């Protein structure tokens, strides 16, 4: 593990990558330090997305047969349905958000526990938690999602009461697994990144390991963990449409339904999906920027 | 091993720290090759020598931050080289100050000093605070109680670190090159603090490069090179009448 962490990426010698070599190297170092890759959203992405949306929309407008509603009008008509579901059922895009909140909650609690196990003094605990972390960190999210969807019953019969397990709850469980593994790495990285002098001075003041961890090490780690934690939330929020494949009634499923209702007109398809991309971007972008700002603020202080 | 003192029969007329034939290796590299010394209560001794001669390793063994392969270290009659040793009990008696200060950056100066007595010794918070404020005064940092380590200079941080160790009321203080990371103009304020301590009768073991300080304050000086003690003696004998050629060469480079 030590070797893996001490490996330093070098600037590329591929000619095609040379213009971004320095930036790429800096980002790679930062990502390795945090144990996570980062989302670099900029305003130009939004301008690009709106540009694509307008160009596609304009083309579709021109291709609209006489007597049919145009793409912008169609989106306006379906907007409420896509964002909140029919009559405030909290489906569509709001279900994406609900799934992301709960997955993050479960994933964080489990991930912090797993991460602390990764810095345990007991070798079996350490290697066991390392294996679990690596397993879920390196599994494709979609595969995990399918596995949970098919492994979990649609209801749990406790004998006296039957608890239904709706699809979106299964999706929450499926998403929280990779989140757990990545948060575990974030915790391990933060604990490892503290200078060893902090441990030594705590030891020489006769703090036991537990006190050292909870009073001295972890309070300093929280600051370091918040930016990558927010970053992982953004990645998760953008991954939630994956569960549309399992029939969860979130934004992408509803977009497909709306397009069906409009008679599957081919010119509408790209317009609707690019509109969805803008919604996701508008939600994620401020959060991603916030994490970068926090990071700069913390970097100055310590 | 001729020292038979144990936990129960140690008396202040015996050495407070007794180091006998200590061997220590990191892998294949033997850094201590049979080091012995005695430190009496109230003595201040300085260990000097070129880098990599094992002097820091030696004092880190005294509070069990490093373990040793063979030999014996007795602190107030208690054997440190003992797998059954209660390290935390030992460290309550032995304070240590590091080259890099190692203050807790998320706590203010006062909180840094109070943390261990309150949480480790379970002492009353009010009393500890009173004592912490006195210690701050003692290291001449009045008004900095609520400053965070990041807001203090190196010399100020190091003095907070000294006060933090003293708050545990240790019997022995270990200083591991505590001025090596400081700007020349702040070295003095830290040395004066240590000198005060030594004059009050605190037992001090210093690893240092400050020859002027060693000459003025130390009761005894040990010169180490490549894991052995080459020469030792009182400051006057050591600085003016060194016998060993290695000592002479080192002193001629430094003085």
Q: End-to-end CA distance of chain B: give it in Å, rounded.
A: 37
Residue A88: pLDDT band by 50, 70, 90 thresholds?
confident
- The answer to whether the beta carbons of residues B218 and B211 sit under 8 Å apart is no
Q: How confident is the model at residue A3, as a pLDDT?
A: 43
**Nearest CB to B120: which of A207, A219, A301?**
A207
Query: Is A90 inside any structural domain?
Result: yes
- Give the whole-angstrom CA distance, residue B48 versus residue B50: 7
Mean pLDDT for A45-62 is 90
Residue A39: pLDDT band by 50, 70, 90 thresholds?
confident
Provide the mean pLDDT of chain A.
87
* A-chain residues near B106 (CB < 8 A): 219-220
Residue A295: pLDDT band by 50, 70, 90 thresholds?
confident
Query: Is A16 inside any structural domain?
Result: no
**Measuring CA to CA, how many Å separate A297 from each of A216, A222, A223, A227, A301?**
21, 14, 10, 10, 7
Q: How confident is the model at residue A12, as a pLDDT?
A: 61
For residue A119, give its domain range: 75-301
CATH number at residue A220: 1.10.3720.10
Query: Is A70 inside any structural domain?
Result: no
Question: Could you report the per-residue pLDDT of A175-211, keeping only the tens digit for each?
Answer: 999 999 999 999 999 998 899 999 999 999 999 999 9
Give chain B's domains with CATH numbers: 17-254 (3.40.50.300)
- Give the whole-angstrom CA distance, residue A154 versus residue A166: 7
Q: What is the CA radius of gyration of chain B?
A: 18
**Measuring CA to CA, how many Å separate B103 from each of A150, A237, A265, B164, B196?**
52, 39, 67, 9, 22
Q: How confident is the model at residue B101, as a pLDDT?
A: 92
Q: Name which of A264-268, B5-9, B113-117, B155-159 the model is least confident about.
A: B5-9
Question: Could you report the per-residue pLDDT of A124-171, keeping only the tens digit for each?
Answer: 999 999 999 999 999 999 999 999 988 888 888 888 888 888 889 999
Question: Distance, in angstroms, between A80 CA and closest chain B CA?
Answer: 47
**Measuring CA to CA, how many Å separate A105 from each of A113, A289, B131?**
13, 21, 43
Q: How confident is the model at residue A134, as a pLDDT?
A: 95
Residue A1: pLDDT band by 50, 70, 90 thresholds?
very low
Contact A201 B98 (CB under 8 A): yes
Residue B195: pLDDT band by 50, 70, 90 thresholds?
very high
Mean pLDDT for B166-181 is 93
Mean pLDDT for A223-251 is 90
Query: Is A194 inside any structural domain?
Result: yes
Q: How confident is the model at residue B159, as a pLDDT?
A: 94
The contacts of residue B95 (CB under 8 Å, 6+ apart) are A204, B165, B166, B168, B170, B172, B173, B174
Residue A33: pLDDT band by 50, 70, 90 thresholds?
low
Question: Could you report the per-residue pLDDT of B16-37, keeping only the tens digit for each?
Answer: 999 999 999 998 899 999 999 9
Contact A219 B106 (CB under 8 A): yes
Question: Could you report the per-residue pLDDT of B107-130, keeping only the tens digit for each?
Answer: 999 999 999 999 999 999 999 999
Q: What is the pTM of this model?
A: 0.81
* Structure tokens belonging to residue A2: 């030590």
Total domains present in chain A: 1
Percent of chain B clearing pLDDT 90 (strictly above): 69
- Give the whole-angstrom CA distance, residue B151 versus residue B173: 26
Residue A2: pLDDT band by 50, 70, 90 thresholds?
very low
Q: What is the CA radius of gyration of chain A?
A: 23
Query: Is A20 inside any structural domain?
Result: no
Quick one: angle between helices A218-239 and A93-118, nearest 10?
140
Residue B7: pLDDT band by 50, 70, 90 thresholds?
low
Is the pLDDT at B2 greater than 60? The verdict is: no
Residue A5: pLDDT band by 50, 70, 90 thresholds?
very low
Q: Name which of A148-152, B102-106, B173-177 the model is least confident about.
A: A148-152
Burial class (CB in 10 A: 0-12, 13-18, 19+), A125: middle
* A-chain residues near B177 (CB < 8 A): none
- Give the whole-angstrom CA distance, residue A83 versus residue A96: 10
Provide the mean pLDDT of chain B.
90
Residues 71-110 of B with CB under 8 A from A: 87-89, 91-92, 94-96, 98, 100, 102-106
Question: Distance, in angstroms, between B197 CA and closest chain A CA?
Answer: 19
- Give the whole-angstrom CA distance, residue A31 versus residue A37: 5
**Measuring CA to CA, how many Å separate A285 from each of A8, A44, A48, A178, B65?**
30, 11, 14, 22, 48
**Measuring CA to CA, how many Å separate A250 from each of A144, A198, B177, B253?**
18, 47, 63, 76
* B-chain residues near A297 (CB < 8 A): none
Mean pLDDT for A110-134 is 95
Q: How confident is the model at residue A193, as a pLDDT?
A: 87
Query: Is A172 inside any structural domain?
Result: yes
Please count the residues of chain A: 302
Is the pLDDT at B3 greater than 70? The verdict is: no
Mean pLDDT for A250-255 is 92
Query: Is A56 inside any structural domain?
Result: no
Query: Is A108 inside any structural domain?
Result: yes
Q: How confident is the model at residue B8, as a pLDDT?
A: 56
Q: How confident is the model at residue B1, as a pLDDT?
A: 40
Contact A220 B106 (CB under 8 A): yes
Is the pLDDT at B206 greater than 80? The verdict is: yes
| The dihedral sign for the CA sequence A96, A101, A104, A105 | negative
Quick one: angle between helices B154-166 and B125-138, nearest 10?
140
Is the pLDDT at A299 greater than 80? The verdict is: no
Contact A201 B106 (CB under 8 A): no
Percent of chain A clearing pLDDT 70 (strictly above): 92
Q: How confident is the model at residue B136, as a pLDDT?
A: 95
Q: Which residue of chain A has the CA closest to B64?
A: A204
Q: How confident is the model at residue A6, as a pLDDT?
A: 47
Is the pLDDT at B203 greater than 80? The verdict is: yes
Please state the ipTM of this predicted complex: 0.89
Asked if B209 has any chain A CB less than 8 Å from its own CB, the reply is no
- Give the whole-angstrom CA distance, residue B136 versus residue A82: 63
**Measuring CA to CA, how many Å separate A54 from each of A59, A71, A83, A270, A280?**
8, 10, 20, 11, 17
Residue A287: pLDDT band by 50, 70, 90 thresholds?
very high
Contact B119 A201 (CB under 8 A): no
The contacts of residue B137 (CB under 8 Å, 6+ apart) are none
Q: Name which of A32-41, A155-164, B163-172, B177-186 the model is least confident about.
A: A32-41
Asked if B119 has any chain A CB less than 8 Å from its own CB, the reply is yes
């Amino acid at each position: 593990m030590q070797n893996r962490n001490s490996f330093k990426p070098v600037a590329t010698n591929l000619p095609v990558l040379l213009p971004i070599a320095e930036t790429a190297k800096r980002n790679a170092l930062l990502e390795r330090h945090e144990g996570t890759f980062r989302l670099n959203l900029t305003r130009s992405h939004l301008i690009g997305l709106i540009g694509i949306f307008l160009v596609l929309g304009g083309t579709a407008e021109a291709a609209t047969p006489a007597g049919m509603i145009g793409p912008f009008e169609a989106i306006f008509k379906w907007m409420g349905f896509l964002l909140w579901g029919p009559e405030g059922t909290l489906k569509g895009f709001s279900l994406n958000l609900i799934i992301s909140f709960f997955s993050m909650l479960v994933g964080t609690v489990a991930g912090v526990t797993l991460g602390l196990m990764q810095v345990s003094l007991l070798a079996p605990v350490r290697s066991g938690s390392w294996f679990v972390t690596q397993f879920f960190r390196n599994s494709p999210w979609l595969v995990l999602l399918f596995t949970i969807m098919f492994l979990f019953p649609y209801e749990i019969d406790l004998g006296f009461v039957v608890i239904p397990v709706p699809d979106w709850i299964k999706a929450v469980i499926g998403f929280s697994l990779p989140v757990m593994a990545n948060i575990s790495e974030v915790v391990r990285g933060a604990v490892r990144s503290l200078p060893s002098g902090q441990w030594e001075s705590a030891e020489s003041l006769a703090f036991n390991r537990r006190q050292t961890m909870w009073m001295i090490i972890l309070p300093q780690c929280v600051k370091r963990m918040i930016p990558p934690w927010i970053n992982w939330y953004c990645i998760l929020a953008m991954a939630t449409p994956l569960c549309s494949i399992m029939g969860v009634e979130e934004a992408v499923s509803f977009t497909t339904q709306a397009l069906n209702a409009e008679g599957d007109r081919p010119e509408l398809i790209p317009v609707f999906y690019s509109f969805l991309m803008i919604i996701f971007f508008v939600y994620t972008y401020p959060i991603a920027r916030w994490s970068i700002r926090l990071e700069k603020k913390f970097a100055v202080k310590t | 091993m001729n020292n038979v003192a144990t936990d129960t029969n140690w008396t202040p007329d015996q050495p407070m720290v007794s180091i006998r034939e200590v061997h220590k290796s990191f892998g294949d590299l033997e850094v201590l090759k049979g080091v012995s010394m005695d430190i009496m209560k109230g003595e201040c001794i300085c260990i000097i020598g070129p880098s990599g001669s094992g002097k820091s390793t030696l004092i880190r063994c005294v509070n069990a931050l490093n373990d040793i392969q063979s030999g014996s270290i007795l602190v107030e009659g208690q054997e440190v080289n003992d797998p059954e040793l209660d390290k935390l009990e030992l460290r309550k008696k032995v304070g240590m100050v590091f080259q890099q200060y190692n203050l807790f950056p998320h706590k203010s100066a006062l909180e840094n000093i109070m943390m261990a007595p309150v949480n480790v010794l379970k002492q009353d918070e009010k009393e500890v605070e009173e004592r912490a404020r006195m210690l701050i005064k003692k290291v001449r940092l009045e008004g900095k109680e609520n400053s965070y380590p990041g807001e203090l200079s190196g010399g100020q941080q190091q003095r907070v670190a000294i006060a933090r160790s003293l708050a545990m009321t240790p019997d022995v203080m270990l200083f591991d090159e505590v001025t090596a990371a400081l700007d020349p103009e702040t070295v003095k304020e830290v040395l004066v603090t240590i000198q005060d301590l030594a004059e009050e009768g605190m037992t001090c073991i210093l690893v240092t490069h400050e020859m002027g300080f060693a000459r003025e304050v130390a009761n005894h000086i040990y010169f180490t090179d490549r894991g052995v003690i080459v020469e030792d003696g009182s400051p006057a004998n050591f600085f003016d009448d060194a016998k060993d050629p290695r000592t002479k060469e080192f002193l001629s480079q430094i003085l």
